[in-house]
Amino acid sequence: MLAKRIIPCLDVRDGMTVKGINFVDIKEVGDPVELGSKYARDGADELVYLDITASHEKRKLFSDLVRRIAAHLNIPFSVGGGINELKDADVLLSAGADKVSVNSAAIRNPLLVDQIAEGFGSQFVIVAIDAKLENGRWGVYINGGRIPVEKELFSWAKEVESRGAGEILFTSMNHDGTKNGFACDALRALSESLSIPVIASGGAGSEEHFAEVFTRGKADAALAASIFHYNEIPVPQLKQYLREKQINVR
């Protein structure tokens, strides 16, 4: 079995790392390059950088920030936000990103997933899905969780898998920032319905939540932000805990 991955997520706005609760109440927490370097030293397996306002404000990701990140990291990192066409992905790859994450743009133009997968390989493309459980249905949202669309989590994940996505990054908007645990039932169903890795996001608050998401939730990787940013659970401590629970981590 592949080792489970621990992935700190750095939401970036105006060049600074920020964090919110349920996608609102945003606060700055540090420099994205410095924070990323610290997580790499601490033993994080990968990093995800998301420009959380790029789609909403129709801006492009700044490739110079990606170059700075790449120059200071020795672990893989993904970049998302503002990737609307194939050339955006090309710019980020050239700047040093290992993967790109597409969300709103993939909803608007599903062919973008095919194009990135065909142009660079499935391993280069993550499809991020922000979804909220409402009346028993996991509805999908775009533009940083601002706009609901006529798509449902499981069918959309299956579609993008068939289009060549290499991974799914599923964020439960109900759980995001609450530190009450991941959406393990939905994650398990998602993992069992797909043949590509699923990254869990939204709700990490304790070491137990990570153990639960890897066992009950069957996630391949777990992503978190605030617990790492505020040093509530240091990465080395988390990995030691998971090893003691007989969970295979790197």
The reported pLDDT for the residue numbered 221 is: 98
The reported pLDDT for the residue numbered 59 is: 54
Please list, in sequence order, all residues whose beta carbon lies within 8 angstroms of the beta carbon of residue 124, skipping any fewer than 6 positions away.
Answer: 89, 93, 98, 99, 100, 116, 117, 166
Strands 99-102 and 125-134: parallel
Strands 5-13 and 16-21: antiparallel
The reported pLDDT for the residue numbered 97 is: 96
The reported pLDDT for the residue numbered 173 is: 95
Q: Which of 11, 114, 176, 220 is catalytic?
A: 11
Q: Which of 45, 51, 88, 130 is catalytic?
A: 130
Flag residues of the chain having pLDDT under 50: none
Q: What is the pLDDT of residues 34-93, one digit of tens each?
A: 999 999 999 999 999 988 776 555 555 568 889 999 999 999 999 998 899 999 999 999
Residue 133, classified by CB atoms within 10 Å of its CB into exposed (0-12), middle (13-18) or buried (19+), is middle
Q: For residue 11, indicate whether it is catalytic.
A: yes
- pTM for the model stands at 0.93
What are the structural domains, with CATH classification, of the chain? 5-244 (3.20.20.70)
**Do 26 and 225 form a contact (C-beta atoms < 8 A)?**
no
The reported pLDDT for the residue numbered 18 is: 82
Q: For residue 98, indicate whether it is catalytic.
A: no
